[in-house]
Structure 1
Amino acid sequence: MTYTNYPIEHQLDFNRPELFGLRTYYLVACGFYMQALYGLLFIDERMKDFWEMTIHHIITIILISFSIVSSYHRAGSIIIFLHDVVDVFLYSAKAFHEIGRSNIANTLFGMFAVSFFVLRLILLPMFVLNAYFLLDDPVMITSFPPSKFLFKYVTDAYYPIEISSYGVCAFRWCLSTLWLVLIGLALLVCLHVYWFSIIFKMVMKIVLKNDRWNHDPRLNAPKNNEAKNKVV
């Protein structure tokens, strides 16, 4: 269903009222990551995973943009949903932690850890691998011209720089948008593995040591108060 009759039935036409919800969902998701990137760079405190988070947001914005231009929004909406479900548990856990409900916060954090593992480390990689192996499918090859190449010279480009369902082209040299999306998703999976290692350590601390989730381990260690270091 994600590639049947591509691209005829996959155009994210802004004049089709039945696609209003999907368009809105896409624009809200893209806007969220844009503001998150801005906040990360200019407002929020820099955490230990600052560069990883920056790369994540940039890749996500590029993927959302490419999926709209290349009419991959059916697959893209599924991937965005897989990410959004996980965040619900995380931010809920943070909210209950702030109001002092540690037991509820720990439970929600456990649900966050499980959903993160299932959705981002099992279903998302399966989605990427499934798309990769479909590149040899005859229907896929016929439906998706970008699946036939990674880097190619074309002769029918109208403008020096173009971004379309065919590829990202500069002076008639094109990179396949399909391959760019797959590479971007693979990078996201690698980042998720890194973050899950942090989550797993926190879960083990809560379970084995009967501890509470009381801080974000990505936060940098607070600086010592200079006054305490003064010799009286």
Structure 2
Amino acid sequence: MGLSERFWHHEYWLPPGATWEDMKESAGTRYPQPQDLLLCIPGALLLIIVRCTFERTVALPLGRRLGVSDKLRPKVQPNATLESFYVLLGRTPKEEDLISLAKQSDLPVKKVETWFRHRRAQDRPRLMKKFCEASWRFTFYFTSFFSGLALLYDKSWFWDHTMCWLRFPQQPLPPALGWFYLLELSFYCSLVATLPFDVKRKDFKEQIIHHIATITLIFVSYCANLIRFGMIVMLVHDASDYILELAKMLHYMKWKWVCEAVFIVFAVVFIISRLVIFPLITYYYFVTKFQFFIVSCLINAFLMILQLLHVFWSYLIIQMIFSVILCGEKRKDARSDTEESDRSEAEDLAKNKE
């Protein structure tokens, strides 16, 4: 038996007693085929093109009209010694490094420290870039959630989750659900491809873990014909994502009170959907009501990874609500990419103008 045959052996992918013969296409009846997922590669590329077009032709003009503007940042004087250290050794030199660099550059230590602060500011993403990214994600998540809701609203298994396993795995695949699955997979593949170019936030590592887990779950659940269960899980996830992106857009627009109200709505929806509904669906309807086989164990492992990420993000959300909104502390995004405060930038600009 070759490697490919071993990988696709029915005992790994399907419950006991089921084989790939049970999922052979016949007249008028179609089942998921693993080769369908290869379309996610051109799909991801197409979404990246659509995103670039959307950000330039829609999000950018919209942001300008809504008052989003980039702050002026101090210009860095060219310095080969400092630039070499910045690129090769680190963006934030220690005190002993500052002293050494000051001697090499024949500059006061304070000026070297200021140079690095300004250099870091140059690399930070502009406010308009963050607004455009949030606008794209809001558009996709909003469309995805309500499209998914429209697709599942009239499905009996959407309301009675025990019916997700009725005659499994011999459950025909409606074309609309197949395309929705492919769109979601293409989107997350596009997110992974653009991660190096997107705004880098403090939870960058957690984002990578989340995207890998999501792509794996979509791929595996499609091949094993767990489409019904997968659709419900994706809908639960999309329920809060578009609200968060809307809150970010309002934050960049400096609509403080509206932003805080939307963020509280997001927090409520996120916690209910990710810490109540998601565990109920996955651990009650999937773990306790379903036959175990190798792929189902793999799915359980990745669902657990997602749940741990949900707990981590819920902690950050609750922390932000109490510290920023309720206690009135200085606003700072729990997933912010910002290193320096706006006040320090304003002071530097003022000094440069004097």
Letter in 2 for 1:4: L
Letter in 1 for 2:187: F
Distance in 2 (alpha carbons) for counterparts of 1:134 and 1:194: 28
Q: Is the 8 Å Cα contact of residues 125 and 186 (structure 1) preserved in structure 2?
A: no
1:81 aligns with 2:235: yes
Distance in 1 (alpha carbons) for counterparts of 2:170 and 2:321: 47
Asked which structure has the greater RCO (Cα within 8 Å, sep 6+), the reply is 2
Distance in 2 (alpha carbons) for counterparts of 1:113 and 1:211: 18
1:57 aligns with 2:202: no
In structure 1, the partner of 2:334 is 217
Deviation at 1:129? Answer: 1.3
Distance in 2 (alpha carbons) for counterparts of 1:21 and 1:80: 15
1:5 aligns with 2:156: no
Q: Is the 8 Å Cα contact of residues 48 and 219 (structure 1) preserved in structure 2?
A: yes
Q: Is the 8 Å Cα contact of residues 48 and 220 (structure 1) preserved in structure 2?
A: yes
> Given the two structures, how large is their TM-score scaled by the length of structure 1?
0.72
Picking from 187, 192, 196, the partner of 2:310 is 192
Q: Is the 8 Å Cα contact of residues 33 and 61 (structure 1) preserved in structure 2?
A: yes
CA separation of 1:206 and 1:219: change in aligned 2, threshold 3 A? closer
Picking from 33, 36, 40, the partner of 2:191 is 36
Q: Is the 8 Å Cα contact of residues 233 and 278 (structure 2) preserved in structure 1?
A: yes
Structure 2: gaps of 5 or more residues: 1-162, 349-354
Structure showing the higher helix proportion among its residues: 2
Picking from 96, 99, 109, the partner of 2:250 is 96
1:138-157 matched pairs, under 5 angstroms? 141=291, 147=292, 149=293
What's the Cα RMSD here? 2.2
Letter in 1 for 2:189: M
Identical positions, percent: 30
Deviation at 1:31? Answer: 1.4
Distance in 1 (alpha carbons) for counterparts of 2:267 and 2:218: 25
1:123 aligns with 2:240: no
Deviation string, structure 1 residues 58-110 (Cα, Å, up to 9, x no partner): 01001001111000010100000011111111011112222222211111100
Deviation at 1:208? Answer: 2.5
Picking from 181, 197, 201, the partner of 1:26 is 181
Q: Is the 8 Å Cα contact of residues 113 and 199 (structure 1) preserved in structure 2?
A: yes
In structure 2, the partner of 1:152 is none
Deviation string, structure 1 residues 181-225 (Cα, Å, up to 9, x no partner): 11111110001101111111111124432457x442222442588
Secondary structure in 1 matching 2:165: coil
Letter in 2 for 1:65: F
- The alignment of Structure 1 onto Structure 2 pairs a total of residues equal to 182
Picking from 314, 323, 327, the partner of 1:205 is 323
In structure 1, the partner of 2:268 is 114
In structure 2, the partner of 1:70 is 224
Letter in 2 for 1:82: V
Q: Is the 8 Å Cα contact of residues 210 and 309 (structure 2) preserved in structure 1?
A: yes
Segment drifting more, 116-125 vs 98-107: 98-107
Q: Is the 8 Å Cα contact of residues 274 and 310 (structure 2) preserved in structure 1?
A: yes
Distance in 2 (alpha carbons) for counterparts of 1:177 and 1:183: 10
In structure 2, the partner of 1:182 is 300
* Structure 1 ranges of 4+ moved more than 3 A: none
Letter in 2 for 1:38: A
Distance in 1 (alpha carbons) for counterparts of 2:190 and 2:332: 24
Structure 1: gaps of 5 or more residues: 13-18, 136-140, 142-146, 150-175
Deviation string, structure 1 residues 132-163 (Cα, Å, up to 9, x no partner): 1124xxxxx4xxxxx1x4xxxxxxxxxxxxxx
Secondary structure in 1 matching 2:164: coil
In structure 2, the partner of 1:172 is none
Secondary structure in 2 matching 1:43: coil
Q: Is the 8 Å Cα contact of residues 260 and 325 (structure 2) preserved in structure 1?
A: no
Structure showing the higher strand proportion among its residues: 1
